[in-house]
Structures are given as structure tokens and as C-alpha cells.
Structure 1
Amino acid sequence: MSSEVLWEETLSGSSTWSHVLKRGTALRITAGGDHANVGAIFLNADNPSERLNLPDTLKAQHIARLTTGAVLFSDMGRILCSITDDTLGWHDPLGGCSDATLVAEKYGALTYQKAHNDWHQNALDGFLLELEKYGLNRRDLMMNVNFFSKVEVQEDGSMQFVEGHAKDGSTVELRAEMNTLVILNTCQHPMDSDREYRQTPVTLTLKRVPAPGSEDICRKFRPENERGFLLTERYFQ
């Protein structure tokens, strides 16, 4: 599949970033070191009341992890983004995000005034700050995806974070099927048992890509995906 790189930048660890990913473009995220984690939320940029619905995303595709072929459904049954490439085979849709209390208990409180860019940030506050740039607030939050992290569900229903899942250079690529407001946060996964506060950067590459055809891997991943693509295409007619 041919593509054209539009721009590329590095997002440092413990940072938040946002961009309206236009239909017809894709965002490739590359881990800049081991232990990377990228929390992500997604909204329809043209109508932010429509946003990622992770329960429907998992239920419709009969999955408990995200990988190549999977799509991210909105609460309107349309597709915000598709995962067109992935070197890990497993990204976590269950673990949620860190908050100030968790970070302080696990790593200790460390303010910007004391540590400057090394201060201890948390993903929840980062998401809220980024949402505010678009006139949104806490009501617009949703369950987030954690790219580069793996959480297994055990037979007793407990969840186990898998250490060392992501390696330097691991990648995942998201193709926008709608004009999608993407908000990313690079704080550590909330279930990460590492007691060291890590700041692992990622590289973000924006590309122009062709529209998905009838035999597209994401369209064919599950029967419900075909319906999602049809609803999305009808939205733009």
C-alpha cells in the first residue's frame, strides 16, 4: 500500500498530544524505547458527542485485545480508526489510565516546581488538559486504549499486566476512517509494576494513505466491521 509521509515528530515520555487525524491519512506510532505505553482516546472531530465506545468495539469483534485488522467503533456504530499494521499483536483496551493518586502512591509526588520536565505526571490530568483545548471537559472522557501494553484476563477474571511486552521500535498504525480527534498520552500504564518512574518517548509519523478497498484487512476482520464501514461511508456521502 503506497503512502506519502506528511510530517514526523517525537513525543516525549509523560506527555500529551492531540491532532485531528483527517480521513485519508494514517498515524504511525513507533516506540522510542522499551516499556513504552501510549494511552489514546478518540472522538469525531466534526461532532465530538460521538466518541470511541470500547465495550462495543470489543463485543462486535469478539476480542479482548487490539491488533492488525481491528477497528475502533464509535457509539454511533461508525468506525473512527482502523489498525492497519502492528508489530506486537496485542494492545490493551482494558487497563484504563493513571491518575494523580496512583502516581503519587507508586512513584512519589514530584512537582514541576521541584523537577521541571521530570515531574511526575498522570494520564488522566493529561487527557483532561488536552480536551479543554477543544472546549471539552470531564464529561467527554471515555475508556482509553493503551497501545504497546498487554493485559491478560485470567480464568478467575483477574487482570495481569505482562512485563516487557513492548520493545524499542515496536509500531502500530492507525488509519482514520473519519475526521478523528486523537488524543495521546505517554504516561506509564497504571498496572505497570515497575516502581521506577519512566519517560519513554514515541515517534509520530503522519501519512497520506489510500481509502480501504473491498478486500481491506480491517473490513474483512469481522462481519460487523463491514457494516461499520458502510455506515461510515454513508456518513460522508
Structure 2
Amino acid sequence: MTGVLAHTLTDSTMDPETAVLDTVVGAGDGFLGTIPAGGRFRIVDLDGNQAADTLFYDASDIDNRYSAFDTVREQAGVYLTTGSRLLSGRGDLLATIVADTCGRHDTIGGACAQESNVIRYGEHTRHQHACRQTFLKYGAAAGIGQRQLGHNINFFMNVPVTPDGGLTFADGLSAPGKYVEIEAAMDILVLISNCPQLNNPCNGWNPTPVQLLGWWDK
């Protein structure tokens, strides 16, 4: 893949004071919620350098879920930013990124798991909490199990692609208060693991909370 979208910084017009959803997800914790069609959903990197691993599902059919492969192919770019259309494996538009003050987000680095931690960082990491556990814990309420987990979006995470096609986990591009906002194209489920990873710089070696804001008609 040679296409790389440029940083596209775009402020939102939505007022946090009017949000119908306003919650903080602690470091290493998770979230599951429904965003109705036309609703907007914002993730705020409160302290900076925090990866928010995120999955999207068709609320009426959890097997119709976000596909990093189809999203990257259709936009002909590796990273996500303002204007990126988040597609399902069936080619359906789930949501669109409509505002982004960070400028670039990863969707190819995947989520951390206890198994991958051991391979990458050593046996001593086997019992450290990982995003895959959080996805399964919170996703269970919607019937989301192992077979419904796929490649996720790592909002705010910096995963440069090397000239030979490899991946590196690098220091983040975000900063305190940076945010990304998406608009749902259909009723969607949003499943988040606020990444607990301690072994690479994706969280600045120190996981921190994120804030979630949402706007839609109740």
C-alpha cells in the first residue's frame, strides 16, 4: 500500500455542553454503546499519547462489522483522518470521520493481546491486561465474542509503515485535548478498549483516560 493520507486537521462544530453522552473511560477500561444513525461520537485524548482501540458494528447485525481491509482499500490510504469512510466487510458505510484535531490514526497495527504481548515482549508480560480481554468483556453484553473481533481502529496511535512494508510502534502524535469525531451512517455499536499497553510507546508508557462525548436525538 503506497497511499498515505496527509494530516487533515478539522475542528468540530459540536458543543460539549449540549452532549447527550459525556463519560470518561479510565486507563485500561472499556465502553460499549449504541450511536443512532446521524449521531456524532467524539473521543477526546485527555492527557495525550493515549491509544483508544475501537471497533464498529451494525447494531442490527454484529456480523456486519468494521473492516480495516475494505476501508484502507477503498480510500487508497493507510491512515485514517477527516473524511475517512469506515466500511464493513460487506461494503456498507458504518460511519465517517467528520472532525479530527490529531490528524492521523492507525487501523493496521491491531489490538494488543496476552499472546502477542508474550511474543513481542517476553513471558513476563503474559498476565498483563490487554485490549482483547476488554473487547470480550464489554462486547459480551451485545453478543460480541471472539469470532466477531476483527482488525480495529487505534485512534491517536502512531504506527509508521517502513519502506519495506513493516510496522513500528512509535511515540504518539496526539496531545492533551486532541479529539476525533465520527458520524454514524446507520445505527452502530461502538466498542472501545482504552489501551492498557505498557510495553511500547503507544500510550507514552503510561495509559491515561479518554473522554467520550455524543450528540443525537434521544
Q: TM-score, normalising length from structure 2?
A: 0.83
The letter for the 1-side match of 2:159 is V
TM alignment of 1:1-237, pairs within 5 A: 4-103=18-117, 105=121, 108=124, 120-188=128-196, 192-193=200-201, 198-208=206-216
Identity %: 26
Between the aligned partners of 1:89 and 1:195, the Cα distance in structure 2 is 17
The letter for the 2-side match of 1:137 is G
What is the Cα deviation at residue 62 of structure 1?
0.5
Between the aligned partners of 1:100 and 1:32, the Cα distance in structure 2 is 26
Q: TM-score, normalising length from structure 1?
A: 0.77
What is the Cα deviation at residue 199 of structure 1?
2.4
Larger radius of gyration: 1
What value does the CA root-mean-square deviation take over the aligned residues?
2.5
Indicate if the aligned counterparts of 1:88 and 1:148 stay in contact, CA closer than 8 A.
Answer: yes
The 10-residue stretch of structure 1 (92-101 or 183-192) with the greater mean CA deviation from structure 2: 183-192
**Which SS does the other structure have where 1:85 is aligned?**
strand
Indicate if the aligned counterparts of 1:96 and 1:190 stay in contact, CA closer than 8 A.
Answer: no
Closer, same or farther in 2 for the Cα pair 1:24/1:198, shift >3 Å? same
Between the aligned partners of 1:92 and 1:204, the Cα distance in structure 2 is 19
Indicate if the aligned counterparts of 1:41 and 1:183 stay in contact, CA closer than 8 A.
Answer: yes
**Runs of 4 or more above 6 Å deviation:** none
What is the Cα deviation at residue 192 of structure 1?
2.6
Between the aligned partners of 1:45 and 1:195, the Cα distance in structure 2 is 30
What is the Cα deviation at residue 136 of structure 1?
2.6
Indicate if the aligned counterparts of 1:7 and 1:207 stay in contact, CA closer than 8 A.
Answer: yes
Between the aligned partners of 2:202 and 2:107, the Cα distance in structure 1 is 20
**Which SS does the other structure have where 1:49 is aligned?**
strand
The number of aligned residues is: 201
What is the Cα deviation at residue 159 of structure 1?
1.3
**Cα deviations by residue, 1:143-194 (Å, 9 ceiling, x for unpaired):** 0110001211111111122313121111000111111111001114698347
Closer, same or farther in 2 for the Cα pair 1:196/1:165, shift >3 Å? closer
Between the aligned partners of 2:171 and 2:79, the Cα distance in structure 1 is 16
**Which SS does the other structure have where 2:154 is aligned?**
strand
Closer, same or farther in 2 for the Cα pair 1:164/1:60, shift >3 Å? closer
Between the aligned partners of 1:151 and 1:14, the Cα distance in structure 2 is 20
**Which SS does the other structure have where 2:151 is aligned?**
coil
Indicate if the aligned counterparts of 1:102 and 1:190 stay in contact, CA closer than 8 A.
Answer: no
**Structure 2 gap ranges (5+):** 1-12
What is the Cα deviation at residue 196 of structure 1?
7.9
What is the Cα deviation at residue 106 of structure 1?
6.2
What is the Cα deviation at residue 102 of structure 1?
4.3
Indicate if the aligned counterparts of 1:149 and 1:189 stay in contact, CA closer than 8 A.
Answer: no
**Structure 1 gap ranges (5+):** 112-119, 210-237
Between the aligned partners of 1:179 and 1:75, the Cα distance in structure 2 is 16
**Which SS does the other structure have where 2:168 is aligned?**
strand
